[in-house]
Structure 1
Amino acid sequence: MNTKLVSFKRDAHPYKLTLMVDRSIYKLLKDYSGDHRLTMSCIVENLIYTNLGGDSHGTTNL
């Protein structure tokens, strides 16, 4: 499997999230994170919370 681990931690929260993603997806995330407005952790977090029915501010209903 051609995957890579992506880890990030939000400064204001005591958790660290590690995801295993396909290398092609990782490359896309890394390319987008070159834009100062879009950090890799922000992109990954938005993907997660959007899919969980939450919002981009890190709140969700589980």
Structure 2
Amino acid sequence: MLHAHVAGVVPPWTVIGDELYTVVTGRLPLSPERVARRVEELLRIVDLLGLDGRSSR
């Protein structure tokens, strides 16, 4: 996971309970491409943490 942060592959994030949070700031308008890129980054975090993304509720 540390290597991914150093390489800039994932944004800053935190896990609180069973929820993953990340904050991405920028001045560019939101576009479908930017949303897709952010989702890919979050899925990478889930993968690196060994989670499958499904809720246990």
- TM-score, normalised to structure 2, is 0.33
If asked which structure has higher relative contact order (CA below 8 Å, sep 6+), I would say: 2
Higher strand share: 1
Larger helix proportion of the pair: 2
